[in-house]
């Protein structure tokens, strides 16, 4: 089994980079645009004990994992965890070596139970507004990462937990997964992107039903409606997600970033504008060393060695 080693390099630069931002109440910054393998895992320092940033090494170098670890609250997102999530994704955003990110949980039978309602009960209306804005902008940061993101869902992904998964590019769940947006039962609505991202995945009518009723669905139903990419036997979501991450990690990293941009931005445009965007993204790949390496590897019948150049 691999040895966990502490990464000596400080990530304080990420904190300095954000220190000039305006702040919300409770020091929330405004938005700017376990599974252990035989390989070494490198642990990054974290602002929160409930969020761990891990970087796989050796042949899996380029894969990073954000691990949720707040078992006493079923990974409910309180202020401390939210700051930890923001810090982790800002670190990934500024790391040019990261090629694909996974979000997983170390808590059995739960991905994320949503917002911490015990903390919420003690907040004023103004504090709730600031918290939800910060949560929404953090999930938007996940969505706007240039690299692919994969949510690894075992057990419950409810409310803000499902909204976090919706902000990822891909979702892999176990058969034991339980997904839902129960906010209307609390006389509120999904406020961290759920009302917008869910219908874009499953269609307007299905999204309305799930949000209006607050109904919870199992993994197989999530797969049939297109909410997740794969539903695998319970306990096997992480190996499946790692398999996909490895496939992505082998591809040209600049090409992956351009493909994500072309798809995400193109879907928000008319077809003519989207095709212009595709051309722009393609042109950015023509003078890269990776493109030449891909052609050379094909001619020499070997696996390409891409460096992101």
Catalytic residue among 65, 90, 154, 163: 163
- Given 160, 191, 194, 219, the catalytic residue: 160
Contacts with 164 (C-beta within 8 Å, 6 or more apart), sequence order: 77, 85, 103, 112, 139, 142, 151, 157, 192
Is 175 known to be catalytic?
no
163 in catalytic set:
yes
Residue of 62, 180, 183, 245 with catalytic role: 183
Q: What angle do CA 288, 169, 216 make, to 5 degrees?
A: 175
Q: Would residue 159 show up in a list of annotated catalytic residues for this protein?
A: no
Residues belonging to the active site: 115, 160, 163, 183
């Amino acid at each position: 089994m691999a040895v966990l080693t502490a990464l000596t390099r400080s990530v304080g630069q990420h904190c300095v980079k954000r220190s000039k931002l305006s702040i919300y109440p409770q020091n929330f910054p405004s938005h700017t645009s376990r599974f252990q393998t035989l390989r070494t895992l490198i642990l990054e320092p974290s602002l929160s004990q409930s969020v761990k940033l891990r970087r796989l090494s050796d042949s899996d170098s380029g894969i990073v994992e954000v691990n949720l670890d707040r078992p006493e609250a079923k990974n409910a997102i309180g202020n401390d965890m939210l700051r930890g999530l923001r810090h982790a994704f800002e670190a990934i955003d500024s790391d040019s070596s990261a090629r694909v990110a996974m979000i997983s949980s170390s808590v059995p039978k739960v991905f994320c139970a949503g917002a911490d309602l015990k903390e919420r009960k003690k907040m004023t209306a103004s504090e709730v507004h600031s918290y939800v804005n910060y949560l929404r902008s953090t999930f938007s940061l996940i969505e706007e990462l240039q690299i692919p993101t994969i949510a690894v869902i075992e057990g419950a992904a409810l409310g803000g937990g499902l909204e976090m998964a919706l902000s990822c590019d891909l979702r892999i769940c176990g058969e034991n997964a339980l997904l839902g947006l129960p906010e209307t039962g609390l006389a509120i609505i999904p406020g961290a992107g759920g009302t917008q991202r869910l219908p874009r995945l499953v269609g307007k009518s299905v999204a309305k039903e799930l949000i209006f009723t607050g109904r919870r669905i199992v993994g197989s139903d999530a797969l049939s409606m297109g909410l997740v990419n794969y539903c695998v036997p319970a306990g096997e979501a992480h190996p499946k997600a790692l398999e996909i991450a490895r496939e992505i990690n082998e591809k040209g990293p600049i090409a992956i970033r351009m493909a994500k941009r072309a798809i995400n931005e193109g879907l928000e445009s008319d077809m003519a504008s989207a095709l212009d965007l595709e051309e722009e993204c393609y042109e950015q790949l023509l003078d890269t060393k990776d493109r030449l390496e891909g052609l050379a590897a094909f001619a020499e019948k070997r696996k390409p060695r891409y460096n992101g150049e």
